[in-house]
Structure 1
């Protein structure tokens, strides 16, 4: 059974972490932000934890402390920042699945990764506003996905649930939805036609060759 997220921990004090934190505070959610994995007490005690650190540092996450937590993966792989990382550049799996494998027991949900910092800072809108844009969500735990969908809505975006965590591949960097200020209908269409895009074909070929 899902529950409303009333407290939100954010691990990472960069642009994305600060933007999500500001939106949550505006929505009346208690927020705790830690700039590093060394200061996580208040963060891991929250109803949900947003991961907003560079993806290349995911192995520094406090895996044992995050067991049982609803964990929102907002991270992306950037070779310029993370370096060449075959474990994060594997087209046969999503990066969120890699993160989830490192966090056994955590209820990982992918969300917020495909919006730009500007969109998070400036484009949140009340429900029903015709200019409201979407946030795609993927996760294996139904109750966690429902809770994160409620969080997305509370923060000012339309949640678009795409399916299990593996479907997060459809809105990673290099996909049509990544960086797009799309409404819910447009976002669903982009996700659905993933396999017809260049990135989709690359993933399909890699998976077929396994």
Structure 2
């Protein structure tokens, strides 16, 4: 679906990615893990085409419809419904489909009945679910998520994880960054470990957690480094 080859990204004096190559196949749920500053968010943004980079980004026909949920989703000063409608408008969805898609998206994330509530008046967990609904409503085949459960309480984390597992079961392809190794183990089909802007391990989830890792990647999984 998507392939990066020898991609490098620099922010001023900071080399955020160093000749990274990675592919995404249809139906995968990939978890990007690594210490703070390892390049997880930069890689997500590069994969989504949001950054100027050196290297090659190739997007296949199955990945033309993409969406991204950011770690701190921005809510417009609008109602829940109109936040969804704005996303649909920006994505070029015909107006005749808006009501149906809004209703389906809110039902999917269990926010039905809150259509007229100001989006910024929602709880943190509700705002995160609305951000996910906003992305899901445009019917992406490839969804990127940056720390989708960061700062959420345990109940809200479980709700978001259940949503993502449901999307994967429906056949959507997902790439997410996370600091929660338990979450990666529960949800991902593949885990990619980054450090200093480079990929040091890229393995199916079972292999990643079975003790075969070496060096700093092994230390990270054992909780011996941040």
Answer whether TM exceeds 0.5 for this pair. Answer: no
- TM-score, normalised via structure 2 length: 0.34
Q: Which has the larger radius of gyration?
A: 2
The structure richer in strand per residue is 2
- TM-score, normalised via structure 1 length: 0.36
